[in-house]
């Protein structure tokens, strides 16, 4: 079996515009959740979220379609994160042996765009329509990278980019390509999303103290916090990476997935889907539960998810492995969360530091695990897993390992 390594990573999150900024903010326990600035949230049931800091892109000479995509936040986030990952890797991406797989949001036109389309008399702008499709990030990445090895998009809510990472692993193992650009992007801080998730009763309503709103595994948790961002990784076949002298960051050891076949909006109380995903990932990585040194939990801060994930972790891994949820600091990035948190898990291995769970004041007895509250912990580990469990019942677990 071909081994797969990671040679480049890139992130845009509410805590930073690159890997270094985001990582340093996480280990310092900083908060990226504030009152919404992008639109006036007055009158909304929830008035806070985790927004990416505003930034401008340099002038880029691209096609009209790519220009339309870059005018949208998902395009800006994608471009910046992919560029960082490629530059860090040093890989030549214009090749038939380099593929792409992206976890992406479903098409979500804005309220302003809907109003424009209702009143429009002229034929629709096809580039404008395509720029809103889930496949738009792939169109952009193909153009700026020149990757010719085939591309695909996965849209399974919160599991999207975890499954994109897993698909990249499988394609390289099968010998279809030698490298993959994988990851995900999502933009949730939008009036439609805020109102929709508010009506579902899924969001925290701590409008007076947003910095304390995301509190995974805490007894007083009352819902998740919408976030946004992008995370991308460059995966390569190990021998090819070594041959070109790449700086190898770590190994992508395994991936596992499952479906709950339960309710659309709830996780099974016994955690069976989460457990199945983690056990499948361990089998794929040929590791035992005892070898896992850290779990970056899905940890959304909702009552059912945290309890279900806890029971799944106990079944699959046990209660002694350190666990934290970085959503406590940067909110829920949905389609992007799996890739971003995979990068965080890799960084934990590389730096020998495990990020904390912010706001974990009183652990829910139903979520009794080896938590890392408040402060980062210095621990040298060889293997970590990142969980992502999707709205609708899809589950994904990525295993990353130290490069020996």
Catalytic residue among 158, 257, 337, 367: 158
Q: Rounded CA gap, 326 and 377, in Å?
A: 14
- HEC-encoded secondary structure of 228-287: EEEEEEEEEEHHHHHHCCCCCCEEEEEEEEEECCCCCCCCCCCCHHHHHHHHHHHHHHCC
- Three-point CA angle 273, 277, 280, nearest 5°: 135
Catalytic residue among 332, 337, 371, 383: 332
Q: Is 85 helix (H, G, I), strand (E, B) or coil?
A: helix
Q: Which DSSP helix (H) or strand (E) runs through 126? A: helix 126-131
Query: Is 332 one of the annotated active-site residues of the chain?
Result: yes
Query: Is 101 one of the annotated active-site residues of the chain?
Result: no
Q: Rounded CA gap, 220 and 318, in Å?
A: 24
Catalytic residue among 298, 337, 367, 383: 298
Q: Rounded CA gap, 180 and 81, in Å?
A: 15
Cite the DSSP H helix spans in 1-125.
19-27, 64-70, 73-89, 111-119
Query: Is 298 one of the annotated active-site residues of the chain?
Result: yes
Give catalytic residues, as residue numbers. Answer: 158, 298, 332
């Amino acid at each position: 079996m071909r081994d797969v390594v990671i040679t480049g990573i890139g992130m845009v999150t509410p805590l930073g515009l690159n890997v270094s900024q985001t990582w340093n903010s996480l280990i310092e326990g900083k908060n990226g959740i504030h009152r919404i600035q992008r639109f006036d949230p007055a009158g909304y049931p929830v008035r806070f979220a985790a927004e990416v800091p505003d930034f401008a892109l340099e002038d880029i000479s691209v096609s009209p379609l790519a220009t339309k995509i870059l005018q949208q936040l998902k395009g800006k986030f994608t471009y910046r994160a992919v560029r960082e990952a490629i530059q860090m890797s040093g890989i030549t991406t214009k090749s038939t042996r380099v593929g792409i797989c992206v976890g992406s949001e479903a098409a979500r036109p804005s309220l302003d765009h809907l109003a424009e389309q209702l009143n429009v008399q002229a034929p629709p702008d096809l580039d404008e329509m395509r720029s809103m499709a889930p496949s738009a990030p792939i169109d952009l990445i193909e153009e700026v990278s020149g990757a010719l090895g085939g591309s695909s998009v996965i849209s399974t809510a919160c599991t999207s980019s975890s499954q994109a990472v897993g698909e990249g692993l499988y394609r390289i193992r099968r010998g279809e390509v030698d490298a993959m650009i994988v990851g995900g992007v999502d933009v949730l801080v939008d009036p439609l999303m805020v109102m929709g998730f508010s009506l579902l009763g899924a969001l925290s309503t701590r409008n007076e103290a947003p910095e304390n709103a995301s509190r995974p595994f805490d007894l007083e948790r009352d819902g998740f916090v919408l976030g946004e961002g992008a995370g991308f990784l460059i995966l390569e076949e190990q021998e090819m990476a070594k041959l070109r002298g790449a700086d190898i960051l770590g190994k992508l050891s395994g991936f596992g997935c499952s479906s709950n076949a339960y309710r659309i909006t709830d996780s099974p109380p016994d955690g069976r889907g989460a457990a199945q995903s983690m056990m499948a990932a361990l089998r794929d990585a040929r590791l035992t539960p005892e070898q896992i040194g850290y779990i970056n939990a899905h940890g959304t801060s909702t009552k059912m998810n945290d309890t279900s994930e806890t029971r799944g972790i106990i079944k699959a891994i046990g209660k002694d492995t350190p666990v934290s949820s970085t959503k406590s600091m940067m909110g829920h990035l949905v389609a992007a969360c799996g890739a971003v948190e995979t990068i965080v898990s890799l960084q934990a291995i590389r730096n020998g530091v495990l990020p904390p769970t912010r706001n974990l004041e009183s652990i829910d007895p139903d979520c009794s695990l080896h938590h890392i509250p408040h402060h980062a912990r210095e621990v040298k580990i060889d293997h970590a897993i990142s969980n992502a469990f999707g709205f609708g019942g899809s589950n994904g677990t990525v295993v990353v390992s130290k490069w020996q």
